[in-house]
């Protein structure tokens, strides 16, 4: 009885221990335990970017299916953060596929115009230039404060209005407008600085 009172309850494995066990053994049970821990988080990330619940549920499953291979290739120090980024990138890839490629143009004012082409009738040189524009835009977005980046992604990639973005994010409409305007200005500065280098 005395020993039972002072015996330690076994602690569940940490995320990184599960990752390591999966990488060493390939046992899907370890991946399944990670899935149980973070299904809700991945779904909520997908729900922020994708248009409806069913699409978000499908995307959640696709993200975890990708882990079967991707976890074998990456050294991970913080699984939760890495998974969050992986889920976000998956959603943005889906939006990119729907919208095809963007072209970037700067006007004489402070606005940055991002237009999406159909991607159907371009020469190899033009297609390569479009891909470079997209990569430039992604780098510019990654350098923005999170609020600006998220509002711009919703505004351009999902074509949501200020009011819809405010409803989804909880920001006031004026704050959304400010984030988008400041984000466009910061994108413009980045693009002007780096566009010739691409």
DSSP the chain: -HHHHHPPPPPPPPHHHHHHHHHHH--HHHHHHHHHHHHHHHHHHHHHHSSSHHHHHHHHHHHHHHHHHHTTT---S-HHHHHHHHHHHHHHHHHHHHH--EEEEE-SSS-EEEEE---SS--HHHHHHHHHHHHHHHHHHHTS-HHHHHHHIIIIIS---HHHHHHHH---HHHHHHHHHHHHHHHHHHHHHHGGG-
Per-residue pLDDT of the chain (198 residues; tens, 9 = 90+): 445 555 556 788 999 999 999 999 989 999 999 999 999 999 998 988 887 888 899 999 999 998 888 888 878 888 998 898 888 888 888 877 665 544 444 443 334 444 444 443 444 455 455 556 667 777 787 788 888 888 887 887 777 888 888 888 888 989 999 988 888 888 888 877 776 554
* Cβ neighbour number for residue 44 with a 10 Å cutoff: 13
In the chain, the domains with their CATH numbers are: 10-99 (1.10.1740.10), 100-198 (1.10.10.10)
Is the entire prediction scored with pTM above 0.75? no
User: Tokens 């976000």 belong to which residue?
Assistant: 88
Of 91, 81, 82, the C-alpha closest to 43 is 91
Of 59, 113, 110, the C-alpha closest to 86 is 59
Size of the chain in residues = 198
| CA–CA dist 177, 185 (Å, integer) | 12
Cα-flanking dihedrals φ and ψ of residue 185, to 5°?
-65, -45
* Cα separations in angstroms, 27 against 15, 20, 33, 68, 85: 15, 11, 11, 10, 24
Q: Is the dihedral of CA 29, 42, 90, 88 positive or negative?
A: negative
């Amino acid at each position: 009885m005395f020993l039972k009172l002072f015996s330690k309850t076994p602690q569940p494995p940490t995320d990184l221990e599960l990752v390591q066990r999966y990488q060493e053994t390939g046992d899907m049970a370890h991946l399944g335990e990670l899935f149980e821990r973070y299904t809700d988080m991945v779904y909520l990330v997908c729900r922020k970017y994708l248009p409806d619940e069913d699409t978000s549920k499908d995307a959640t499953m696709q993200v975890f299916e990708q882990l079967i291979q991707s976890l074998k290739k990456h050294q991970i120090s913080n699984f939760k953060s890495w998974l969050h980024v992986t889920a976000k990138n998956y959603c943005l890839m889906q939006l990119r596929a729907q919208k095809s490629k963007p072209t970037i143009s700067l006007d004489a004012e402070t606005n940055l115009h991002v237009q999406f082409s159909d991607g159907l009738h371009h020469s190899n040189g033009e297609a390569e230039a479009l891909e470079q524009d997209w990569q430039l835009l992604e780098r510019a977005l990654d350098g923005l404060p999170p609020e600006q980046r998220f509002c711009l992604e919703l505004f351009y990639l999902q074509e949501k209005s200020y009011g819809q973005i405010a409803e989804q994010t909880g920001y006031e409409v004026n704050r959304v407008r400010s984030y988008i305007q400041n984000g466009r200005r910061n994108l413009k500065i980045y693009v002007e600085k780096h566009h010739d280098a691409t």
